[in-house]
């Protein structure tokens, strides 16, 4: 099955589905249509007992995803107490899917990509993967992204990534060292490794697997939910107007430090 920006395949023999963000020319940036397709795919899996584990990845070699497509027009309410964020429902947990999801990352994963990585059970990445959060560079608050990553990385690592913006990227090896990535693979091998893990998990009784997934998330759900509840106000108060963000984006300095 495929749509405008998403490709979904399922192997009924193994019980593994692969969800691919299929916009390589845009570095798999997520436009409004792709966001809606992601939400629909996760909700469809809730009713498909033939799918027992899912891998999410990005097409091409350059990026897993670079988050929201900057060409997407997202009108905002005039009230500081309401923020329209089309990425809020692109993840499996936001759509009440408690089947295991593994992220397979190659190339760049940044910004809004953390909505997906933050709702996966674990991340497999190849040696080309890099992780960074550009929000502060462009006059934007990293709220949802920082909350998601704070569940997976030490506080200082999340703070450094969020505050350094585009000036610095975390290498796949460093991401593995700090716990964001569970397995490193050679270039191009992350998807196969993730599918292999998913097939093993899918071979187990689904009730036990899904109960374990739910238990794992219960361990951190209260703190995560409380933090995310404050994110809309932090974004509305701290984000620069769109035109000023665009100016910073076009005037950004080239180059970055890889650590």
pLDDT tens digits for range 97-145:
999 999 999 999 999 999 999 999 999 999 999 999 999 999 999 999 9
- The sheet carrying 257-258 orders its strands as 63-65, 108-110, 130-132, 168-171, 257-258
Under 8 Å between Cβ of 27 and 18: no
Under 8 Å between Cβ of 2 and 8: yes
> DSSP of 206-236, one letter per residue?
HHHHHHHHHHHHHTTHHHHHHHHHHHHHHHH
> Which pLDDT score is estimated for 240?
86
- Determine the 3-state secondary structure of 125 from DSSP: strand
Q: How confident is the model at residue 232 (pLDDT cuts 50, 70, 90)?
A: confident
DSSP state of 254: P
Under 8 Å between Cβ of 193 and 104: yes
The token pair at 120 is 């996966």
Q: Given a cut of 90, is residue 31 above it in pLDDT?
A: yes
Q: How confident is the model at residue 211 (pLDDT cuts 50, 70, 90)?
A: very high
H-run or E-run covering 237: helix 221-238
Cα atoms found within 13 Å of the Cα of residue 34, Cβ hemisphere only? 26
Under 8 Å between Cβ of 141 and 238: yes
Residue 81, exposed/middle/buried by CB under 10 A (0-12, 13-18, 19+)? Answer: exposed
Which domains are seen in the chain, by residue range?
6-209+222-258 (3.90.226.10)
> DSSP of 31-91, one letter per residue?
-HHHHHHHHHHHHHHHT-TT--EEEEEESSSSEEE-SB-TT------SSTT----TTTTSS
The token pair at 205 is 């009784």
- Measured at the CA of 216, the angle between CA 183 and CA 200, to 5 degrees, comes to 50
What's the whole-number mean pLDDT along residues 166-176?
A: 97
- For 47-100, write each residue's pLDDT tens digit: 999 999 999 999 999 999 999 998 887 777 777 777 778 899 999 999 999 999
Nearest to 231 by CA among 117, 149, 110: 149
């Amino acid at each position: 099955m495929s749509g405008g920006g998403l490709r979904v395949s399922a192997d009924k023999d193994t019980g593994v589905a692969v969800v691919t963000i299929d916009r390589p020319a845009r570095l798999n940036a997520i436009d409004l249509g792709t966001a809606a397709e992601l939400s629909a795919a996760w909700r469809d899996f809730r009713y498909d007992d033939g799918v027992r584990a899912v891998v999410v990845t990005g097409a091409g070699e350059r990026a897993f995803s670079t988050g929201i497509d900057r060409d997407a027009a997202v009108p905002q309410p005039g009230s500081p107490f309401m923020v329209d964020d089309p990425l809020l429902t692109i993840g499996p947990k936001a759509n009440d899917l408690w089947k295991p999801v593994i992220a397979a990352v190659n190339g760049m994963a940044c910004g809004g990509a953390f909505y997906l990585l933050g709702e996966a059970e674990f991340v497999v990445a190849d040696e080309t993967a890099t992780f960074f959060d550009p929000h502060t560079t462009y006059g934007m608050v990293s709220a949802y992204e920082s909350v998601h990553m704070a569940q997976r990385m030490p506080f200082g690592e999340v703070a450094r990534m969020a505050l350094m913006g585009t000036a610095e990227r975390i290498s796949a090896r460093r991401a593995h060292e700090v716990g964001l990535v569970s397995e490193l693979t050679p270039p191009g091998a992350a998807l196969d490794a993730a599918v292999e893990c998913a097939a093993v998990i899918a071979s187990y009784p689904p009730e036990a697997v899904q109960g374990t997934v739910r238990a794992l998330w219960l361990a951190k759900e209260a703190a995560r939910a409380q933090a995310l509840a404050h994110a809309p106000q932090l974004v509305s108060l701290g984000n620069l107007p769109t035109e000023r963000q665009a100016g910073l984006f076009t005037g950004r300095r080239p180059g970055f430090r890889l650590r």
